[in-house]
Structure 1
């Protein structure tokens, strides 16, 4: 703390130490109070932040699991992944399908005229910018071409502006010169690329490849798609076409690819384990902030949020949903599939023997336990809504309150610092005045003693 330095030269007393001791004594009670409150608020804010992060991760995982078909225990396979790959989603059902692909969906590809000076050919020889408009599927992409711009610069401008929208430009060069070639990730009939504008690049434009639809058949039914990713043909199944169906040697018809959607208990267990891991991550985060540690001397140290009412309420809501029955099958609880709760930690484990026994005859019941509007995933997410809302949730409100408290404590700290600075200045001034007075009194005393000594020692006449 800044203040006047008191040397005590006149009084030979360390007045600076006296002032410091008095100021420190005055500061100590309030400073201790502020320090303790700041430490508690900071630790609480940090712990609540960790709980919020864990809760957000838990809820995000629940939402992801809700949107997958993992709990149905179904997986899709393709007999030839060079023709198509398969993923299953909500609404999938067991079945087998015959797929023949005769044509993949393709994008439009066009070329400009040939520029004899190659990639460095000047496209805009004028003194003012020109404009190139790329048209596709009802959308327009404008490219400004500055005076003196080359073919290479036009290519770079297109790629930098529109690569994230699926457009791409390249330069092809041969002995006759270079031309700009443009294509797109947008496939299917009606997505032709055309050029307009004032750049002149549209003049002499050539279609290298027209856009095409994917042509295929499922169980003999002829179908088409603008995209090679097909999600509407088979309910709950997404096909990604990767190639045309091959023909066996001497055969006139392509070889059919078998798409199979079937139960897979390994997939089902992996899904349940994923839920268990997600649940345990939340519980472990809570335990870390609430655990009571026993010290070597026998005393105990409580966690920052030990006994926190909001945290207890959240855990109660989650555990209540975990233990509730759901689904329309014979088995309606996770405990019937060997999912057990550790009574000490609150985390979940899977008893493999109990799981294997239950899943042999009741695998379909798992889907009913987890999914749907009244399933475990939806209920757990709803149970944590009031705690997790970003602005009005219980923990968000606590964080805001603690942040305000820290702000108030900082104001108290600033006020205390200012008051102690004023006190030190005041005391320093008083002790300086005292030291000055003592110095004057000593000087007067020394003068008087000198005079008295002179009178007591008269010179001989």
Structure 2
């Protein structure tokens, strides 16, 4: 803000009243301004430090989530590959065994798709009221068709029915040269999964009756039944052994392997230890942990001069929060895992640096654990835990930092508190500025008044002096 004081020497007194007022104001302001400046610097550094801490922990949390993914497992003990993924896809669990398997797919498992007879009136054709029964295998689903229903409203009712939706049954309308037909399909595959419809005569469908088959009788207006063929099981062989499956996802044919049958043909499936994949995933964990631990340390460690003495404080120097977080993330590392032979990280070559607190990963010990001690199958259990449980290291890590990272948690509370302090400091500065402005005005007026008074006194003294001088001159001349 602009000062109301005009610097310079007082016309009456000859004193530098501007400098005098400025010195008095600065002396009065110094203590409080210093307090506000120190508080603002500390508060700004703390806000920045907490923001950095939030970013570090968010990155760590995301890595734990990615490594613990159940849809794309990061710690499988074995890696399975297919020579032709267009024919057979494969994934391996930790119970797999090294080996090669020749998989020949003769035909895929198919699902049921059936059609009603054609309705010349199209989608708005009226449908008789009644109970429509849709049967698949041993399950029957009843649908209430009310008066005034049309082919389209029946289709919509089927698709809106929760029980049919859960069973994977859906409906649509297909229009050919004879009219519009109600077509039902299912996601369920395998022999015996054909759909049949009864209860309303014009929508009756016999799923065992095949219509529209290649080389068979041509479709007519009254044709109703399974389109092209009935649903069948998958037929395939593994190393020459003939097998069947109702589903194209086969998880019981070879222990520890899940085969995904994609097309007819032959592919070779190879299963081998997943040492490289495990090593890469463990390295990601170590890197994420070290990034968090080192980042926290950097927020609390002051800069040192050449003599090792602290010079500039770090953003959170002396703050207990970072130490609390470090303690929380170190605790799960020392806990015994849920495995049988693999229970501690040291068995995989992961140890803690006693000086820095960071993790070291010894690849030689890791390789020995994988090849000599055959611990590859237990790595996933150590990091991810048992299915449906939270006893894995990743889950324990996430749980340990949850009180800090959760919405409304410790970090959010600290941020709210710091922002309140920031607002208070800003208000204190405004109040101080207003008080200093008032004080400056008051002192300026006082010193200006003093200067004017001194000027008047000087003028009076000058007049009196002149009078006496004149009187003295007259006396000399008389």
Shorter-chain TM-score category? Answer: 0.5 to 0.7
Give CA-to-partner distance per residue, 1:93-146, whole Å, 9 cap, x none. Answer: 5585736497999xxxxxxxxxxxxxxxxxxxxxxxxxxxxx99969xxxxxxx
Q: Distance in 2 between matches of 1:296 and 1:352?
A: 36
- C-alpha change, 1:218 and 1:91, in structure 2 (3 Å) is farther
Evaluate the alpha carbon distance shift between residue 261 and residue 299 of structure 1 in structure 2; reply closer, same or farther with a 3 A threshold.
same
Q: Distance in 1 between matches of 2:48 and 2:314?
A: 12
Q: Does 1:327 align with 2:338?
A: yes
CA drift at 1:74: 2.8
Maintained 8 Å contact 1:86/1:239: yes
Match of 2:323 in 1: 312
Give the whole-Å Cα distance in 2 for the aligned partners of 1:429 and 1:305.
47
2:305 aligned residue (289, 292, 295): 295
Query: CA 1:102/1:414 → structure 2, altered by over 3 Å: closer, same or farther?
Result: farther
Deviation of 1:421 after TM superposition, in Å, equals 0.6
Q: Is 1:79 the equivalent of 2:83?
A: yes
**How much does 1:376 deviate?**
0.9
Structure 2 counterpart of 1:369: 382
| Structure 2 residue 115 is matched with structure 1 residue 98 | no
Q: Distance in 2 between matches of 1:92 and 1:12?
A: 100
Query: Are the counterparts in 1 of residues 48 and 315 from structure 2 also a CA contact under 8 Å?
Result: no
Q: Evaluate the alpha carbon distance shift between residue 104 and residue 281 of structure 1 in structure 2; reply closer, same or farther with a 3 A threshold.
A: farther
Which of 464, 471, 475 in structure 2 is aligned with 1:448?
Answer: 464
Distance in 2 (alpha carbons) for counterparts of 1:261 and 1:98: 13
Task: Confirm whether residue 414 of structure 1 aligns to residue 419 of structure 2.
Answer: no
Deviations 1:318-345 (A, max 9, x none): 2121011112322310101211211111
Question: Which secondary structure state, in structure 1, belongs to the residue aligned with residue 79 of structure 2?
Answer: strand
Paired position in structure 2 for 1:439: 455
Please identify, of 368-377 and 292-301, the stretch whose mean Cα deviation from structure 2 is larger.
Answer: 292-301
CA 97–367 in structure 1, closer or farther in 2 if over 3 Å, else same: farther
| Contact 1:325–1:369 under 8 Å retained in 2 | no
- Please identify, of 265-274 and 20-29, the stretch whose mean Cα deviation from structure 2 is larger: 265-274
Separation (CA, whole Å) in 1 of partners of 2:377 and 2:56: 31
Where does residue 151 of structure 1 map in the other structure?
Answer: none
Assess if the C-alpha contact under 8 Å between 1:3 and 1:428 holds in 2: no
Pairwise CA distance, 1:317: 2.4
1:31–1:454: structure 2 CA closer, same or farther, 3 Å change rule? same
Equivalence for 1:382: 399
Deviations, residues 351-393 of structure 1 (Å, cap 9, x unaligned): 12211111112222222211222111111111111122221x2
Do the aligned partners of residues 93 and 403 (structure 1) sit closer, same or farther apart at CA in structure 2, a change above 3 Å counting?
farther
Check whether the contact 1:71–1:268 (CA below 8 A) recurs between aligned residues. Answer: yes
Cα gap change, 1:282/1:39 in structure 2, threshold over 3 Å: closer, same or farther? same
Question: What is the TM-score with the length of structure 2 in the denominator?
Answer: 0.64
Question: Partners in 2 of 1:238 and 1:427 — Cα distance?
Answer: 89
Deviation by residue 1:65-104 (Cα, 9 ceiling, x = unmatched): 111422222333221245565566x888558573649799
Inter-partner Cα distance in structure 1 for 2:109 and 2:63: 35
Answering whether residue 278 of structure 2 is matched by residue 281 of structure 1, we say: no
Other-structure match for 1:45: 47
Unaligned runs of 5+ in 2: 111-154, 161-167, 190-231, 238-242
Equivalent-residue separation in structure 2 for 1:431 and 1:374 (angstroms): 78
Per the TM alignment, residue 433 of structure 1 is displaced from its structure 2 partner at its CA by: 0.9
Alignment map for 1:16-165 (pairs within 5 Å) = 16-68=18-70, 69-83=73-87, 93=96, 98=103, 100=105
1:212-231 counterparts in 2 under 5 A? 219=237, 220-221=243-244
What TM-score do you get using the length of structure 1 for normalisation? 0.66
After superposition, residues 146-295 of structure 1 pair within 5 angstroms as 219=237, 220-221=243-244, 245=264, 255-260=265-270, 262-295=272-305
Aligned to 2:149: none
Q: Identify unmatched segments of 5+ residues in structure 1.
A: 106-134, 140-187, 196-204, 246-254
CA distance in 1, matches of 2:436, 2:109: 81
CA contact (8 A) 2:40 2:422 kept: yes
Calculate the aligned-residue CA RMSD, in Å.
4.1
Residues of 1 paired with 2:377 and 2:324: CA distance?
Answer: 33
Matched-pair contact (CA < 8 Å) for 1:104–1:212: no
Tell me, yes or no, if the aligned pair for 1:339 and 1:349 is still in contact at 8 Å.
yes
- Larger Cα-atom Rg: 2
